Amino acid sequence: MADKYLVEPDVGFIKEIGEYGGDSLKKCFQCATCSVACPISPDNKPFPRKEMIAASWGLKDKLVGNGDVWLCHNCGDCSTLCPRGAKPGDVLSAIRMYAISHYAGFPALGKIVNDPKKLPVLFAIPAVLFLVLGLIFKIFGIHWLNFSPERVIEHGDTVGHIAHHAFFHTWLVDLIFVPTSIFVVAIFALGLKRMIADMHANALLEGKTDKENIDPKGFVQSLIKILPTIMKHSKFSECGENTERATPHMMVLFGFIGLAFVTGFFFIVLYGIGIHGPYDALVWLPVKVIAIVSGIALIIGSFLMFKNRKAKAADQMSTYRDWFLIGLVFALGATGMLSYLTRLADAAFLTYLIYYIHLMCVFVLFISLPFSKLAHLVYRTTAMAYNEYAGRK
């Protein structure tokens, strides 16, 4: 009978939590102030006290598949009120990063994304890929970059030739990004399948739900129900310490949504409808306005994120993963806007150079999605949907 109650701490897991930014864990003496202070913790099996206890004991299996670590928005209320400075918000953030790595797989690729020493390698991959493929196309007489239609007309080419250039420009980019997107979606699909199974098993074990099986229809209905909460960032507003985080996070979220819409729209126009350009006509103006506004939202939102995180540096742990993501979002928005502005100015060399850097940033964003903090968008949404489905309030 005694063996039934034996606990074998995973010391390696505790060490990794510290490396992910949760090194304040050892200060916790389990007073439960954090669970009382948290304004968004469910009444049934509230967090984060139970997670702090499990992390202190190195109980990895009770944490990696625990949906509650995703319900935490790291607002900072628990960390501010903690009498020992254990910073439960930072600990749960570290556990989430561990879970992201666990569900993503491909540890070698994950290390390239999250290791600052590997940053040059991460950007070198798309730099070489686009350069090599671009040179190969050039050898075969395919000029895949053409940002100055007026200049082509001056050399006697027709509008049809311009469309020909526009087609191959998009085709080369899609040749790289379509397989990359499929790879990313596959990683998330496999990760979500495991995560949902683990969350449900954990919820049954800890008495968070009385539903023996997950009804797909009911789960989807719960997902739809919580989408307004996510879009409005309502959970951020319920917290007292970091309410200012809501605005920049929403700007970045809607910036990405807008750019995803524009990308999907032109993809359908090009490959579905068969219109190959030119795309400078006034008919495309509404879509271009969405792209410009979305790009500006990324720039301003990421700048505000940087400013807020810098101001909270003494109270909130910031790791390379945090700064990497903020910097990448800013670079993505800035290079996109600059490439557009230099194109309008007919500064061909600058346009080519900046757009080349922009493509590198987009590739890094795509390939980093399952391994970086951006994965929160997928996993936290799923956890919130499951929590709604389980009926916890």
* Residue 97: strand, helix, or coil: helix
| pTM score, whole prediction | 0.86
What would the pLDDT profile of 11-24 be if each residue is shown by its tens digit? 889 999 998 888 89
Distance, in Å, from the CA atom of 264 to the CA atom of 294, rounded to the nearest integer, reads: 14
What is the structure's pLDDT at 248?
A: 92
Output the six-digit token pair for 255. 């910036």
What CA–CA distance (Å, rounded) separates 389 from 249? 25
Q: What is the Cα–Cα distance from 191 to 173, expressed in whole angstroms?
A: 27
Domains of the chain: 2-104 (1.10.1060), 108-390 (no CATH)
Cis peptide before 278 (omega within 30 of 0): yes
Instruction: State the Cα–Cα distance between residues 25 and 11, nearest whole angstrom.
Output: 13
pLDDT in tens, 19-73: 888 889 989 988 999 999 888 888 888 899 999 999 999 999 889 999 999 999 8
pLDDT in tens, 168-194: 456 778 888 999 999 999 999 999 999
Residue 210, classed as helix, strand or coil, is coil
Question: What does the pLDDT look like over 332-359, one tens digit per residue?
Answer: 999 999 998 998 888 888 988 999 999 9
How high is the pLDDT of residue 343?
Answer: 86
Nearest to 360 by CA among 106, 154, 80, 119: 119
- Band the pLDDT of 10: cuts 50, 70, 90: confident
Helices and strands, number each (H, E), in the chain: 18, 0
CA–CA separation, 264 vs 291, rounded Å? 12
Distances 212 to 208, 226, 257, 343 between C-alpha atoms, Å: 11, 22, 35, 58
pLDDT of residue 310: 85
The rounded distance, in Å, linking the Cα atoms of 72 and 189 is 23
